[in-house]
Structure 1
């Protein structure tokens, strides 16, 4: 635990697992908000990430059923189509002599196609036409959206609120408006023509908050977290009591659709890049992935959603990737009132920001022996009980965890399973070992991730 100031704002760094549980779960009612982020745009100001207090509670309660296991099954087919398009394009490239790939560009093309299909109901043709307006504008907006948000959180309010800051640093709102107008036109067309589609936009249009527990029973069977016990269930139930509204406004639908695009595009692309990089460096792991997924495909060369969700090694492989290269380096919460922190005698005063250093915790040898060694066996079913709760936080924890984690893992697992059957990755001269990271980003970004590729 360490006190610090970020641009004159008081902040407390907390890395003890029990204290983290207190902040994220037991005393969630006192740490419900993230630090204030200013955004004057009519739509993006309604992003769930920016929402606070009862606004966040209402939107999260309504949107949560959109990310249930049942809804993920509905999105499986469009993701699978994007995966097949990706494999065809990659097969063509390798057949034409490509023997090295830069993984961030490669996986970014796949996740861009998935999010365009699943969030905005459009095909980007990203492999044949990387310069089409949808792709270039998406790169302008979403590849920089997260680090700009960090600036908003850390810089003093008097700087963030200046027109010069917004004009020079913040997202180009003309590009934002392109996506907002695009999605609004789709909503109008569907309502006018009474059309239905399998995508996020449709799910958000149709979602209606149920009575009682907003999660489905089937969700409990997908153990994406090691932090799921009675305390977590209680905190979740208490966090969303008293919400009466059942539908989102059109502007709120547009905002959430916009928000989901960013992590589903950039964060998943980064995770897939690191995972494939580690497979290239560890041929034995690549063989294990191939053997596990080979048995999971049916005679038509297809894999069912339920089968994919139950494969232990591919899940462990992604879990270790997310431990070693967490998408978010830290979590932030803001105290809504004065709170005593466990039995430390430390009082967190109202308005103080609490920082949880995810990357540091994930690389603490007390929790993960040889923390910089890539070892998926840490997360195999027989070993998961050895992981101390609240030392694995790639998606956060508690009621304000990452709402899209099921989708992100589905998007990643599906392409890894398929690509493992068709291609081999290897270390080449231009492969950086160890990874050379880019400084000053909110995401764990490498400067480049180059590996060799060949057909099986």
Structure 2
């Protein structure tokens, strides 16, 4: 009797899996959306741990001439948009229909879990509204001098490397440049990574570029299967980077609380959000929201 019950249960499970898989693999075909046949387990994610997700995405863009491509995140249908006009509608005109993000970090990762790239509404709308003044046209124009200075350093570095007959690693060179620009524009922290290729902040940001099986699993889960993030304790950023930016934030916050600031940069906006959250009791709500995302 027990054997019959087990066999019947197994047969029902296999039938359910077959019917479910049939529905999953025909999802985009039924909607006349261009796609490649999915893997029965990984869906379209067979590239994982083999190549960078950005490279895979670029290959998908060039492989199809359609404005969109159907993919599967394991058995979950998703859409790659390959048309600026559709992208604009999603991000601007029809943004109210696309507010929530699929990717997210864990409840034990406040830096990765409570930022504008990973939070959902209503927190997303609240934080976006508060950060908008940092990215006005006048504010971006005020960064022109900084960009000009760093760009001149970038050109000089490449010119010197070429004169010395050295191979120019453009990826690392532009990463140095980007680190300097973001550091000073967002946090008021200047460094010489563009000129010298090294700085304390650059040492930390290099951790972002290091690959390991664990980091690969973490990023794959955060972007493609966020349900696994809390199970394995994955975080968006490496621990050393998180500790460093915490230290920088608290140091600058203490300095500006004493000296004051009129920079109106991202750091000022973050300090203002922090102060308002404490005054309105929203700080506790942020932690509660992180636990329920």
- Whether TM exceeds 0.5 here: the answer is yes
TM-score range normalised by the length of the shorter chain: 0.5 to 0.7
> Which one has a bigger Cα radius of gyration?
2
Does residue 62 (structure 1) correspond to residue 87 (structure 2)? The answer is: no
Does residue 160 (structure 1) correspond to residue 229 (structure 2)? The answer is: yes
Match of 1:431 in 2: none
Counterpart-to-counterpart distance in 1, 2:200 and 2:129: 34
Compared with structure 1, are the counterparts of its residues 20 and 74 closer, same or farther at alpha carbon in structure 2 (3 Å cutoff)?
A: closer
Residue pairs, 1:165-176, within 5 angstroms: 166=234, 171-176=237-242
Bigger fraction of residues in strand: 1
> How far is 1:84 from its partner?
2.9
Match of 1:379 in 2: none
Which consecutive unaligned segments of at least 5 residues does structure 1 have?
207-246, 253-456
Counterpart-to-counterpart distance in 2, 1:146 and 1:65: 35
Counterpart-to-counterpart distance in 2, 1:16 and 1:84: 34
Match of 2:273 in 1: 248
Match of 1:200 in 2: 266
Compared with structure 1, are the counterparts of its residues 64 and 127 closer, same or farther at alpha carbon in structure 2 (3 Å cutoff)?
A: closer
Compared with structure 1, are the counterparts of its residues 38 and 199 closer, same or farther at alpha carbon in structure 2 (3 Å cutoff)?
A: closer
> How far is 1:131 from its partner?
4.6
Partner SS state of residue 11, structure 1: strand
Counterpart-to-counterpart distance in 2, 1:115 and 1:34: 24
Compared with structure 1, are the counterparts of its residues 143 and 54 closer, same or farther at alpha carbon in structure 2 (3 Å cutoff)?
A: farther
Which consecutive unaligned segments of at least 5 residues does structure 2 have?
1-32, 35-69, 278-293
Q: Cα deviation per residue 1:221-257 (whole Å; 9 max; x = unaligned)?
A: xxxxxxxxxxxxxxxxxxxxxxxxxx512699xxxxx
Match of 1:46 in 2: 114
Partner SS state of residue 56, structure 1: helix
Contact kept? 2:173, 2:197, Cα under 8 Å = no
Residue pairs, 1:287-366, within 5 angstroms: none
Counterpart-to-counterpart distance in 1, 2:264 and 2:156: 23
Contact kept? 1:148, 1:171, Cα under 8 Å = no
Compared with structure 1, are the counterparts of its residues 189 and 30 closer, same or farther at alpha carbon in structure 2 (3 Å cutoff)?
A: same
Does residue 103 (structure 1) correspond to residue 170 (structure 2)? The answer is: yes
Contact kept? 2:176, 2:194, Cα under 8 Å = yes
Q: Cα deviation per residue 1:382-421 (whole Å; 9 max; x = unaligned)?
A: xxxxxxxxxxxxxxxxxxxxxxxxxxxxxxxxxxxxxxxx
> How far is 1:185 from its partner?
0.8
> How far is 1:177 from its partner?
1.8
Compared with structure 1, are the counterparts of its residues 199 and 76 closer, same or farther at alpha carbon in structure 2 (3 Å cutoff)?
A: farther
Partner SS state of residue 161, structure 1: helix
Counterpart-to-counterpart distance in 2, 1:130 and 1:49: 28
TM-score by length of 1: 0.39
Match of 1:282 in 2: none
Counterpart-to-counterpart distance in 2, 1:100 and 1:4: 38
Partner SS state of residue 123, structure 2: helix
Compared with structure 1, are the counterparts of its residues 153 and 196 closer, same or farther at alpha carbon in structure 2 (3 Å cutoff)?
A: same
Counterpart-to-counterpart distance in 1, 2:117 and 2:76: 20
Match of 1:180 in 2: 246
Partner SS state of residue 102, structure 2: coil
Match of 1:77 in 2: 145
Q: Cα deviation per residue 1:152-181 (whole Å; 9 max; x = unaligned)?
A: 131261x32223x528xx532232121122
Does residue 134 (structure 1) correspond to residue 201 (structure 2)? The answer is: yes
> How far is 1:110 from its partner?
1.7
Counterpart-to-counterpart distance in 2, 1:147 and 1:80: 39
TM-score by length of 2: 0.57
Contact kept? 2:103, 2:226, Cα under 8 Å = no
Does residue 7 (structure 1) correspond to residue 74 (structure 2)? The answer is: yes
